[in-house]
Amino acid sequence: MVSDREILEAALFGFQAQLKEVEAKISEIRTQLAGRAAPVRTPEAAPKAKAGRPKAQPVAVDVSGKKKRVMSASARERIAEAQKRRWAAHHAKQGEN
């Protein structure tokens, strides 16, 4: 009977083989893009992650060219007044209970 450990070891072996194939394809594409040989980074040669808090990820920037929507002062006042009415109604209802 095959144990879970043997299954996991076989899966790991298969994934490592796939990883090597993917890295070779990436290297080939980089070579085509750059017009010269690109270095192949293997997992063993990759820099080790440092202990502690991870580095911040870059924030996606909207480059669609759309202008930011601007709200007029009177619209902000109307929204603020409506919110105040909602809260007043909510507090009045809470006071009844």
Q: What is the DSSP string of 9-54?
A: HHHHHHHHHHHHHHHHHHHHHHHHHHTS--PPPPTTTSPPPPSSSP
**Model pLDDT, residue 18:** 93
User: What integer pLDDT is reported at residue 78 of this predicted model?
Assistant: 97
pTM recorded for the entire structure: 0.33
Chain centroid offset of residue 34 CA: 27
φ/ψ of residue 10, rounded to 5:
-65, -40
The encoded tokens of residue 96 equal 């009844």
pLDDT tops 70 at residue 16: yes
Residue 46 has what pLDDT? 62
State pLDDT tens for residues 40-88: 666 666 666 677 777 777 776 666 777 788 999 999 999 999 999 999 9
Quote the DSSP letter at residue 60: P
pLDDT of res. 88: 95
